[in-house]
Amino acid sequence: MASTLYQQRSRNVLKTYALMAGFLVVVIAIGWAISWYYGNPAILYGAVVFSLIMNVGSYWFSDKIALSMNGARPASREEFFDLYTVTENLAITAGLPMPRLYVIEDPAPNAFATGRDEKHAVVAVTTGLLAILDRTELEGVIAHELAHIQNKDMLVMTVAVVLAGFVAIVADIFLRMSLFGGGGQERDSRAGVLFMVLAVVAIILAPIAAQLIQLAISRRREFLADSSGALLTRYPEGLASALQKIASDGTPMRRANHATAHLFIGNPFGSQAGKFMNKLFATHPPVEARVAALMGSKAE
């Protein structure tokens, strides 16, 4: 188990660098195409600067962006005593610094972890989760999120949210430029074909960016976090019961979106998870398989 965890952490760091490098290449390529069309090298230089800034920003501020996208607010010890003490006890057991705690005002039960490293980790839970779970189930969920922190899953998860999202934005901007023209009459002959091709590329780039999230973050990390969390609490039944409650609730999150869906312990689309597009970009294995794996590990 230990060797598997160390291998997973190393792979997640490499995945993060690969995502950042890919983002750099894509934005520079789009910048080069626009600068070639307009005959202005400054556009290419601007694309390079933009991609570098976004790479640094995604690493340092991805947690703040993810929290803002989901409307999370800080959770105090006084207001959420059980959440705070459960997290504090499990963090001590895992040998991790106490993560910052946030709460999302949402009736759908769910939770996620974010942050660039163990010292800057954040765990966010919904009010719906706190309302339906007992203490042992809450321990299972928090242990799962702490496992993501310890395994460095959250690094690649949060960077993927920001970079894939901005690739889609850049593609959309370029698509609009191609549709509404610009660039001068003298370039119309050669630009027509170029912009037509790039418009098609831009159209398909946004869903590809979302798909990259699924490719970058395998379903295996959820099984690994489940097993690591169960190992931390020594009570897999708690997490198994929590997963079943989350899945059976069926309430979709108010701010559910494909960009951050992979961050959560459960599918944020709830009862809408079975729809075609949600299935296409599913980042979680079936709850039945996760529960079976947890209870199987107990039997062993």
Dihedral sign from CA coordinates of 126, 141, 228, 291: negative
CA 122 to chain centre: 13
Q: Which position among 145, 222, 288, 300 bears the catalytic label?
A: 145
DSSP the chain: -HHHHHHHHHHHHHHHHHHHHHHHHHHHHHHHHHHHHHT-HHHHHHHHHHHHHHHHHHHHHHHHHHHHHTTEEE--TTTSHHHHHHHHHHHHHHT-PPPEEEEE--SS--EEEE-SSGGG-EEEEEHHHHHH--HHHHHHHHHHHHHHHHTTHHHHHHHHHHHHHHHHHHHHHHHHHHHH--S-GGGHHHHHHHHHHHHHHHHHHHHHHHHHHHHHS-THHHHHHHHHHHHHHT-HHHHHHHHHHHHHH-PPPTT--TTTGGGBSS-TTGGGGGSHHHHHT--S--HHHHHHHHHHHHH-
Q: Is 78 among the residues known to form the active site?
A: no
In terms of DSSP bridges, do strands 111-114 and 72-74 run parallel, antiparallel, or are they unpaired? unpaired
Residues with a known catalytic role: 145
